[in-house]
Amino acid sequence: MKLTAVLIVCSSLMFGSLGKPQFPEHEKDPKFWNMWAQRTLKNALSLQSLNTNKAMNLILFLGDGMGIPTVTAARILKGQLNGQSGEETQLEMDKFPFVSLAKTYNTNAQVPDSAGTATAYLCGVKANEGTVGVSAAAVRTQCNTTQGNEVTSILKWAKEAGKSVGIVTTTRVNHATPSASYAHSVDRDWYSDNEMPAEALRDGCKDIARQLFENIPNIDVIMGGGRKYMFPKNKSDVEYPNDLKHSGTRKDGRNLVEEWTDRMKDKKGYYVWNKKQLLSLNPNNVNYLLGLFEPADLQYDLERNTETDPSLTEMVEMAIKILRKNPRGFYLLVEGGRIDHGHHEGKAKQALHETVEMDRAIGRADLLTSVHDTMTVVTADHSHVFNFGGYTGRGNTIFGLAPMLSDIDQKPFTSIIYGNGPGYKLINGARENVSTVDYQDNNYQAQAAVPLSMETHGGEDVAVFAKGPLAHLLHGVNEQNYIPHVMAYAACIGQNREHCVSRSGAADLRPVLSSIAALLTVTRILC
Ligand X SMILES: *[C@@H]1O[C@H](CO)[C@@H](O)[C@H](O)[C@H]1NC(C)=O
Q: What are phi and psi of 457, to 5 degrees?
A: -65, 165
Nearer to ligand X by Cβ, of 90 and 436: the residue is 436
User: Binder to ligand X among 34, 38, 410, 496 (CB under 6 A)?
Assistant: 410
Note whether 180 and 133 are within 8 A (CB): yes
- Residue 38 found at the interface with ligand X (CB under 6 A): no
Nearer to Zn ion by Cβ, of 340 and 345: the residue is 340
Stretch that binds ligand X, among 287-295, 335-343, 370-378, 430-438 (CB under 6 A): 430-438
Cα(114)–Cα(93) distance, integer angstroms: 21
Burial class (CB in 10 A: 0-12, 13-18, 19+), 462: buried
Binding residues for Mg(2+): 64, 175, 177, 335, 344
Nearer to ligand X by Cβ, of 433 and 440: the residue is 433
Which of 85, 114, 179, 311 is an active site residue? Answer: 114
**Residue 448 Cβ, how far from Zn ion at the closest point, in Å?**
16
Burial class (CB in 10 A: 0-12, 13-18, 19+), 131: buried
Query: Could you tell me which residues are beta bridge partners of residue 404?
Result: 6
C-beta neighbour count of 111 within 10 angstroms: 16
Nearer to ligand X by Cβ, of 90 and 433: the residue is 433
Nearer to ligand X by Cβ, of 302 and 434: the residue is 434
Lay out the site mask for ligand X across 433-452 (x = CB under 6 A, - = otherwise).
x-xx----------------
Stretch that binds Zn ion, among 215-223, 282-290, 333-341, 488-496 (CB under 5 A): 333-341
Nearer to ligand X by Cβ, of 411 and 425: the residue is 411
Cα(417)–Cα(9) distance, integer angstroms: 18
Residue 433: which of Zn ion, ligand X, none does it interact with, CB under 5 to 8 A by kind?
ligand X
What do you get for the CA distance between the two ends of the chain, in Å?
A: 96
User: Binder to ligand X among 107, 108, 142, 420 (CB under 6 A)?
Assistant: 142
Q: What is the DSSP string of 366-411?
A: HHHS-TTTEEEEEEES-EESEEE-S-PPTT--TTSEEEEE-TTT--
Stretch that binds ligand X, among 63-71, 382-390, 428-436, 493-501 (CB under 6 A): 428-436
Stretch that binds ligand X, among 259-267, 279-287, 431-439, 475-483 (CB under 6 A): 431-439
How many residues sit close enough to ligand X to count as binding (CB under 6 A)?
Answer: 9
**Residue 273 Cβ, how far from Zn ion at the closest point, in Å?**
26
**Residue 240 Cβ, how far from ligand X at the closest point, in Å?**
16
Residue 340: which of ligand X, Zn ion, none does it interact with, CB under 5 to 8 A by kind?
Zn ion
Give the CA angle between residues 111, 115, 116 to the nearest 5°: 55
Q: Are strands 330-336 and 374-380 parallel, antiparallel or unpaired?
A: unpaired
User: Binder to ligand X among 52, 90, 234, 306 (CB under 6 A)?
Assistant: 234
Which residues, 6+ apart, have CB-to-CB distance to 483 below 8 Å? 60, 102, 120, 121, 124, 377, 379, 464, 474
Stretch that binds Zn ion, among 272-280, 338-346, 393-401, 412-420 (CB under 5 A): 338-346
Cα(450)–Cα(428) distance, integer angstroms: 17
**Residue 64 Cβ, how far from Zn ion at the closest point, in Å?**
7
Q: What are phi and psi of 270, to 5 degrees?
A: -130, 135
User: Binder to ligand X among 144, 147, 370, 504 (CB under 6 A)?
Assistant: 144
User: Binder to ligand X among 20, 103, 233, 263 (CB under 6 A)?
Assistant: 233
Cα(209)–Cα(182) distance, integer angstroms: 10
Give the CA angle between residues 179, 182, 187 to the nearest 5°: 45
Query: Could you tell me which residues are beta bridge partners of residue 166?
Result: 221, 332
Task: Name the CA radius of gyration of the chain, rounded.
Answer: 25
Is 114 tagged catalytic?
yes
Nearer to Zn ion by Cβ, of 220 and 340: the residue is 340
Stretch that binds Zn ion, among 128-136, 155-163, 206-214, 336-344 (CB under 5 A): 336-344
How many residues sit close enough to Zn ion to count as binding (CB under 5 A)?
Answer: 1
**Residue 245 Cβ, how far from ligand X at the closest point, in Å?**
12
- CA–CA distances in Å: residue 499 to residues 259, 329, 376, 468, 493: 41, 19, 20, 18, 11
Cα(179)–Cα(172) distance, integer angstroms: 10
User: Binder to Zn ion among 207, 317, 340, 455 (CB under 5 A)?
Assistant: 340
**Residue 425 Cβ, how far from ligand X at the closest point, in Å?**
14
Binding residues for Zn(2+): 64, 340, 381-382, 457
Residue type, 341: H
Nearer to ligand X by Cβ, of 437 and 520: the residue is 437
Mind telling me the catalytic residues? 114
Residues that bind ligand X (CB under 6 A): 142, 144, 233-234, 410-411, 433, 435-436
Residues that bind Zn ion (CB under 5 A): 340
